Structure 1
Amino acid sequence: MTTDPHLAADIDAACRLTGQFTLRSGQVADTYFDKYLFEAQPDLLDRVAAQMVDLLPEDTELLGGLELGGIPIATMVSSRTRLPALFVRKKAKEYGTAKLAEGPDVAGRRITIIEDVITTGGAVRDATNALRELGAVVEVVVCAIDRSPADENPLADVGLEIRSVLTRAQLDAASST
C-alpha cells in the first residue's frame, strides 16, 4: 500500500476537537474526531478513500457504508473500485420498501463494512448482526479512524477484522509534531 505521509496530520488538523464529549457508547472522552469535518472536504475524503482501496479484501462484492458517516466514504471507495455500494441504515425504515440496507440484495454476498470512526464498534456490531440475519457474509470492516485501544479488537466478539486507514496513536503522533 502506498501510504500518504501527510494524511494523519491533515486529518488530525481538520477534525480533532478537545473538550468533553459523550460517545455513542456512553463513554466520555476529552478528544473527539469529528469525521464530518474531513468528509465534507473533497480532497481529504478522496485521500481517505484512496487508502481504503488497498485495505479491502479481494473477495469483496459489496461495500456497506454505515449511516451516516460511512456512506460518503463508501461512495468514494465505490467510485474508485467500481464495486457496488450498499447504504446501511441504523434501523430498517418503517415505510416504503422497509429496508435496512438500500442497494443490491445482500443474501449470500460478501460485504465489507465501511465506517468512519470506530471506538467500541457498537454501530458496526449492530449492522453486522443485521446484515448476517439477511444472509450476508460479513468478516471485515474498513474504517477511516480506529480509536479503540491499541492491540484490542472491540469487534472480536462478532468475528470481525478491523482494517483502518489511521489509528488514534497515529493521529496523536501527528498532533504532537
Structure 2
Amino acid sequence: MDSNSYLKPQNRVENGIPAFDVVFGPAYKGISLGALVCASLYSDFKVETSFAYNRKEAKDHGEGGILVGVSMVGKRVLIVDDVITAGTAIRESHGMLQKIDAKPVGVAIALDRAEKRSLEDPLSAVQAVARDLDIPVVSIVALPQLQEYLKQSPRYDDSVLKQVTEYRSQYGI
C-alpha cells in the first residue's frame, strides 16, 4: 500500500494526507466533523474508517477516561477539526496521541483562514502546525477560495466581499 491511499489502494488521497487507520475529532467541534468524515468516506468511497474523540475533562464513571471510541494505540491517526486558530488544540491532540503510542499522520480542517499567527509573524497558524509537528495540514476551503466565491456569487452583496477582503488585508498571510 503506498503512502497516498486510505485503507484500500483504489481509494487514493490526492491532497497529501498519508494513509490512516483512525479519524480523531478533538472536542468539541472536531467530534461531529470527524464522525461526518467517517460517514462520508463510507458513503462516497465504501472506505470503513474507525473513529475516536476526546473529552475536555476525564469522566470517572461509565466507560471513564478522556478518550472515547476505537483504540488508537499503534494506529495511524488523522486529526479532523473546524479551523486552526493558534494551533493549540491540534498540538494538544498531537501530544495526547503520541503519549498513547498513536501516530498522528496529518490534520484536515474545514477552513484555513490564512491568518498570521501575529502581526509580526509571517507564518499562518496552519503553516506553523505543519512545520512544528512535521505533518501535512490540508483544508477543505481556504480564505482566498472564499473570496473568489464571493466575487462570483450573486447571493452576497459587495459588502460581504469587502469585509472579508479587509480582514484578509489586515490579518492574512
Check whether TM > 0.5: yes
Q: 1:136 aligns with which of 86, 98, 102?
A: 102
Distance (Å, rounded) in 1 between the aligned partners of 2:92 and 2:51: 19
Instruction: Label 1:54 to 1:103 Cα distance change in 2 as closer, same or farther (>3 A).
Output: farther
Correspondence for 2:164:
none
Structure 2 unaligned spans of 5+: 1-12, 42-47, 117-122, 153-173
Change (3 A) 1:147 1:93: farther
Q: How many residues align?
A: 125
The answer on whether the counterparts of 2:23 and 2:52 sit within 8 Å (CA) in structure 1 is yes
Structure 1 residue 58: deviation in Å?
4.9
Percentage of matched positions with identical amino acids: 25
Aligned to 2:21: 61
1:165 counterpart letter in structure 2: I
Question: 1:140-159 to 2 correspondence within 5 Å?
Answer: 140-149=106-115, 152=124, 153-155=127-129, 156-159=131-134
- Counterpart CA distance in 1 for 2:85 and 2:142 is 10
Equivalences for residues 18-167 of structure 1 within 5 A: 55=15, 57-81=17-41, 82-149=48-115, 152=124, 153-155=127-129, 156-167=131-142
Q: Which amino acid aligns with 1:78?
A: C
Q: SS where residue 65 of structure 2 aligns?
A: coil
Instruction: Note the residue ranges of structure 1 that are not aligned, 5 or more in a row.
Output: 1-52
**How far off is 1:92 after superposition?**
3.3
Mapped contact 1:147–1:167 kept (Cα < 8 A): yes
RMSD, aligned CA: 2.3
The separation in 1 between residues aligned to 2:53 and 2:16, in whole angstroms, is: 17
